[in-house]
Amino acid sequence: MDARVEKCLNTNIKDLINEFNEIQTALDKYEIGCAPCSLGTCKLKDVVSIHNLNAENEKQLFENIFSIIYPGESFEIPRIAQEKKTSGNGNSMSPPLRMLVDEHKLIKRILAKIPAIVEILDVKKQEHKDIVLAVADFIKNYADKYHHAKEEDELFVQFDTSLDIIQVMMNDHVQSRGYVAEMLRGVEEGDTSIVKNNLINYLNLLTEHIHKEDDILYPWMDMNMQTKTVGMLYSRFFEINNSRPDVQPKYEKLATILEENFSL
Ligand SMILES: [Fe+2]
Ligand SMILES: [Fe+2]
């Protein structure tokens, strides 16, 4: 790759726009609104991959930008963004949806330990009670307030929320809150079978729910989301994560502790 191309790809987009104002006009054609973005930390190459442009649009955009920076010259420019696919494990998704798929991975690590917890559970024992309370805390403060909140408050509202596919997901979220409330009631009343039933109900519901989101809902949303929406969501998700930097490490630690202590 030409060293000048490489340097530009690794330059902060706002610095490029400041130096060459016409670059913003070139980006506007693809609905990439870098000027109003609150982050302002993306490199040129990130801007292209974040917005998941197709190969043709990416090529045209780069040609436009490099003709502004180096008029009259032509360059061999590498393909940056990944191609969209209709399904997958998150690797082919746009960056904001990949963030949600990565959060699912942590939820699945905790879900995977539920059968082993249920196997030995006796909530009359304080240490077992503490385990259920830690799992319930994870469900409330990570799976729900950190993850489901991003889906409901930021992602789903970009679509017609009366659509069946979205209604089903919202109902799952409501149902999951019911299961965790019952789990806590079981702990309060010292009733192990209530806790076990609701842990299993939660495991079954969330396993299916995550499968529907990873394989159906998110790929469909990615296919139907405007480029500017992808960028806006990425920015919002970063803001949310940065406002609560302790959340992800706290619950990764919990997953590790459960993995070290529970196996079937
Ligand atoms: Fe969800
Ligand atoms: Fe989700």
213-255 pLDDT per residue, tens:
998 889 889 888 888 899 999 999 999 999 999 999 999 999 9
Distance 167 CA to ligand 1 centre (A): 11
Distance 211 CA to ligand 1 centre (A): 10
For the chain, domains (ranges, CATH) are 3-69 (no CATH), 95-261 (1.20.120.520)
Residues 6 or more apart from 195 whose CB is under 8 A from it?
121, 123, 132, 183, 186, 187
Ligand nearest to the CA of 101: 2
pLDDT of the residue at 193: 98
161-180 pLDDT per residue, tens:
988 888 889 999 999 999 99
Distance 104 CA to ligand 2 centre (A): 6
DSSP codes of every residue in 109-156: HHHTTHHHHHHH--TTSHHHHHHHHHHHHHIIIIIIIIIIHHIIIIIG
Distance 179 CA to ligand 1 centre (A): 15
81-103 pLDDT per residue, tens:
655 544 445 567 899 999 999 99
Counting residues of the chain whose pLDDT is more than 70, the rounded percentage is 91
pTM, two decimals, is 0.76
CA–chain centroid gap for 190, Å, is: 36
